[in-house]
Structure 1
Amino acid sequence: MKQLLDRIPSFFKNFYFLSTLFFVVWLAFVDSNDLFLQTQLSNKKAELEEARQFYQDKIMQVKNDQAALNHNPDLLEKMAREKYLMKKPNEDLFIVVREDR
């Protein structure tokens, strides 16, 4: 046993080295904010930032559509007729449904 302990360099027997090693292992694996949790949180943050960018793009698209509809009555009528199936009082509306075969 003594021979085995003599083979270990004195650097690894140093109190400060052992304390630092213990501290690093504690933070990396045992602490409530360990490396695994930090990795998961980082991935979740990336997903949320991606979703945020997606919704910001959608908001800009809706604002652009709104501005176009406010300034162009023909486009407003077209959208009302196509999307919401609105019609004028003296018109008949026929909806053709195509069946895929």
Structure 2
Amino acid sequence: MQTLLRRLRNFYVATALVLLTWMTFFDANDLPSQIRNWWKLRELEGDAAFYEGRIKDIRRERREVLGNDRLREKYAREKYLMKKPTEDIFVIVDENNEPLEK
């Protein structure tokens, strides 16, 4: 009787090990794929948070600029260095070739 129980136990242990090995390395949803997907998800969530912040900033700037003609002109001059046809613009830069005023 004990040899039968021992054989059955060995059979179940072996079957469980084979199944675990199969699920870990050979299945379509194996462990390395799950880990890669988890890291990719974290990366994409970080990107989404960054772009949501950028969208919020751009919407805020847009509300500020579109509401006032003076602000629209100021924004165009500062961001895109636009000028009137009759004027000259001089941009003072530092040693890194960045404008001094931001």
Structure-1-length-normalised TM-score = 0.73
Could you say if the C-alpha distance between residues 98 and 29 of structure 1 is closer, same or farther in structure 2, counting changes exceeding 3 Å?
closer
* 1:18 matches 2:5: no
> Partner of 2:76 in structure 1?
80
Correspondences of 1:1-101 after superposition (within 5 Å): 10=6, 12-13=9-10, 15-99=11-95
What runs of 5+ residues in structure 2 fail to find an aligned partner? 97-102
Percent identity reads 39
Q: Which amino acid is the alignment partner of residue 67 of structure 2?
A: H
Q: Which amino acid is the alignment partner of residue 73 of structure 1?
A: D
User: In structure 2, how many angstroms separate the alpha carbons of the residues matched to 1:23 and 1:49?
Assistant: 33
What runs of 5+ residues in structure 1 fail to find an aligned partner? 1-5
Q: Which amino acid is the alignment partner of residue 26 of structure 1?
A: W
SS of residue in 2 equivalent to 1:28:
helix
Across the aligned residues of Structure 1 and Structure 2, the Cα RMSD in angstroms comes to 2.3
Report how many residues are paired.
Answer: 92
